[in-house]
Amino acid sequence: MIVYGTRSKELSKEHLVDKCPNCGTHNSVDVYVFQKYAHVFWIPLFPMSKIGVSECSHCKQVVRSKEMSSTLKSNFEEIKSRVKTPIWTFSGLALIAIIITVGFISDKKKDERNAQWILTPQAGDFFEVRTDTRQYTLFKVDQVEGDSVFIRMSSYETNKISGLTDLKKKEFSEDVFGFAKSELQDMLGKGEIIDIERK
């Protein structure tokens, strides 16, 4: 369940010398400026609008910015223009950017590692393979002789990448198939081999 919505945080409170439009009391009105922001799991995602209210300390009338008199509204707009949007309201976007960057760097390192390992396979390596039928299976390197790589195929397939972990514990065919390293390199380049695991 994703908890999301909007919240508001008080940014500024200023006392006005003007009179209250409701009770006429002088020097009794406070203007508040709030930053409205979107959040996911209570982590600020991005800022929205600045909103405000006025409150009379004498009659306790609270007026939202949309309902303020022209004088009060003018004071509110002036105060709002001086209040900066807090940087922390962008923290969710910053976190998303960091996650995307880390993921991109991690994928690039994985691709570089796989490009190296496909040319230097070792007995016991697992090749995670996407089949023509959009299923996933495993190749296990049995032995390497010169340019030839001999593998045994998993006896099972799965429809999810996450299911490959379980396949490592299950049986592989007794038949051994030979591939040239260049063939495996082509399979990696075409996205048929999606990852390599080496213990």
Q: Quick check: is 99 in a domain? A: no
197, 125 Cβ separation under 8 angstroms: yes
pLDDT of residue 98: 96
Q: Quick check: is 58 in a domain? A: yes
Q: Quick check: is 121 in a domain? A: yes
- Cα 153 from Cα 168, distance rounded (Å): 11
Examine the domain organization and report whether 8 and 83 are in the same domain: yes
Give 117's strand partners. none
- Cα 100 from Cα 80, distance rounded (Å): 34
Q: Quick check: is 133 in a domain? A: yes
State phi, psi for 49 to the nearest 5 degrees. -90, 160
Q: Quick check: is 176 in a domain? A: yes
The mean pLDDT of 154-182, rounded to a whole number, is 93
Q: pLDDT band for position 10 (50/70/90)?
A: very high
What's the structural domain count of the chain? 2
Mean pLDDT (the chain, rounded) = 93
Taking the model in full, what pTM does it have?
Answer: 0.62
Among 87, 104, 135, identify where a domain stops.
87
State which residues form the domain around 136: 115-197
Indicate the Cα dihedral angle 112, 116, 121, 127, nearest 10°: 20
